[in-house]
Structure 1
Amino acid sequence: MRTVVIGGTAGIGLEVARHRAARGDEVVLTGRDPARAAEVAASVEGEVTGLALDLDDPHGLADALAGTWTVDRLVVAAIERDQNTVADYDVDRATRLVVLKLVGYTEVIHALLPRMGPDASVVMFGGRAKDRPYPGSVTVSTVNGGVVGLVNALALEIAPIRVNALHPGIVGDSPFWSGKPEGVLEAYVSRTPTGRLATMQDIVDGVDFLLENRAVNATNLYLDGGWLVT
């Protein structure tokens, strides 16, 4: 089985790539920088290849993905955070994130679709900012909400290939969150019914569930320990 992880050189994407390689998949992981993608791929035990592409350049994605390999599992995990308020709106930053997350995600699937069989599956990443916005999240909240619509449309258009999305909450041991100042994570834990934040392993487990359970389709999975109900 071959798994492609878009955005697989760091953070959760890298953990997904490591896990899929450890279970015996051939893995193709991608990042923006060719040297970095090759270096990370070489560091992962198993049959792993690094590939350079930039979701912000959707016109170049087909050429970047022009290998002859088949794709059984596709994980589109590449993200970018944008602090952008309406009062101080940066159009260029907003446009970049919308292109990356919505146009880029869709073009990756378009480019790889001829190499995906009827039993293939796709998982895309959204986020809980779509439900709980914060100051400066106007673009992040919008594009993560767009992922929901994208899941529904694609699950219909490319059936029987399954399409799902995972929306993590605060992932406490991820590189982004683990370096926060003392007290920041504790405040989130205190508002989480489970008394613990999601971990990268929790997210990897969720990705596996969406990829492999053949009855799960057009589903948006929330992994946040019930944080949104508080």
Structure 2
Amino acid sequence: MTTTVIVGGTRGIGWEIARHRLGNGDTVVITGRDDKTAADAAAQLGDGARGIGVDLTEPHRIKEKLADIDRVDHLVLAAIDRDTNSVREYDIDRAIRLATIKLVSYTEVVHTLLPAMHDESSVVIFGGRAKDKPYPGSTTVSTVNGGVIGMVNTLAWELAPIRFNAIHPGIVGDSPYWAGKPAEVLEGYRSRTPLGRLATMADIVDAVDFLLTNRAVNAVQLYVDGGWQLT
């Protein structure tokens, strides 16, 4: 039985990944910010799913929270915290929170779960296109997503043959965050995308599945944005 752990799997794209892997016959462990959120999401997924409350803003507690996971075939680090933060009006606390979640705590999750992994385990880490296309207020987001590149490279080298890859989605039009945006906002992005459509959650799930299961793909930074980087 394959065990897939999804950090940040209680909603949005993380939840869709969990649902897909469960449908493929995996045992799925999802984490959320607290026990109730994680348990409720796991109950919604159904048999074979388990939820654990893990607050990634508290990296020193990650080890105790994940201590009883004894096998990890696939690990997806998908938890995010949206932060609008500019240099001119810099909020240090928000910056520390996001950097802790995505750099320190992502790494601590790998450190904690390493004894449960094996030579054919694989890890997918979520970055984002803000590292290449900054926008007003993306100072911390752009910096942290850039840091995902270094994280993947060093983990793939240090922990070989476990595979590490990153996925950098563009605007995911049907995700909870973007689906509620005004139609004209989404159309503005869509019109600048060579494919003429925005990425969907199904596109992201499919890309994550590829990175998890293709045994020759390692240390890759995969862009899933319909070619938006060309515009």
TM over 0.5: yes
Alignment correspondent of 1:136: 137
Alignment correspondent of 1:203: 204
Alignment correspondent of 1:114: 115
CA gap 1:86/1:43 in 2 versus in 1, 3 angstroms: same
Q: What 5-or-longer segments of structure 1 have no aligned partner? A: none
Alignment correspondent of 2:227: 226
Report sequence identity in percent: 64
Paired AA for residue 125 in structure 2: M
Q: Aligned partners of 1:130 and 1:60: how far apart in 2?
A: 29
Question: Cα RMSD between the aligned structures?
Answer: 0.6
Contact 1:22 1:45 (8 Å CA) reproduced:
no
TM-score (norm 2): 0.99
Q: Write out the 4+ residue segments of structure 1 that deviate beyond 3 Å after TM superposition.
A: none
Contact 1:24 1:46 (8 Å CA) reproduced:
no
TM-score (norm 1): 0.99
Question: Equivalent residue of 1:60, what SS?
Answer: helix
- The Cα of 1:181 is off from its aligned counterpart by 1.5
CA gap 1:104/1:68 in 2 versus in 1, 3 angstroms: closer
Alignment correspondent of 1:66: 67
Q: Do structure 1's residue 92 and structure 2's residue 121 form an aligned pair?
A: no
Spell out the pairing of 1:140-155 with structure 2 (5 A cutoff).
140-155=141-156
- The Cα of 1:45 is off from its aligned counterpart by 3.2
Question: Equivalent residue of 2:124, what SS?
Answer: strand
- The Cα of 1:33 is off from its aligned counterpart by 1.7
Q: Aligned partners of 2:69 and 2:150: how far apart in 1?
A: 30
Alignment correspondent of 2:218: 217
- The Cα of 1:68 is off from its aligned counterpart by 4.2
Question: Equivalent residue of 1:119, what SS?
Answer: coil
The superposition leaves residues 22-77 of structure 1 with CA deviations (integer Å, 9 ceiling, x where unpaired) of 00000000001211111110111330000000111110000000114200000000
Q: Which moved more, 1:31-40 or 1:158-167?
A: 31-40
Question: Equivalent residue of 1:75, what SS?
Answer: strand
Q: Aligned partners of 2:46 and 2:214: how far apart in 1?
A: 25
Q: Aligned partners of 1:219 and 1:55: how far apart in 2?
A: 25
Question: Equivalent residue of 2:5, what SS?
Answer: strand
Q: Aligned partners of 1:137 and 1:51: how far apart in 2?
A: 30
- The Cα of 1:19 is off from its aligned counterpart by 0.3
Q: Aligned partners of 1:140 and 1:35: how far apart in 2?
A: 28
Alignment correspondent of 2:191: 190
Contact 1:18 1:45 (8 Å CA) reproduced:
no
CA gap 1:175/1:142 in 2 versus in 1, 3 angstroms: same
Q: Aligned partners of 2:219 and 2:145: how far apart in 1?
A: 15
Question: Equivalent residue of 1:183, what SS?
Answer: helix
Q: Do structure 1's residue 33 and structure 2's residue 34 form an aligned pair?
A: yes
Q: Aligned partners of 2:160 and 2:47: how far apart in 1?
A: 31
Q: Aligned partners of 2:103 and 2:44: how far apart in 1?
A: 30
Alignment correspondent of 1:127: 128
Q: Aligned partners of 1:45 and 1:9: how far apart in 2?
A: 13
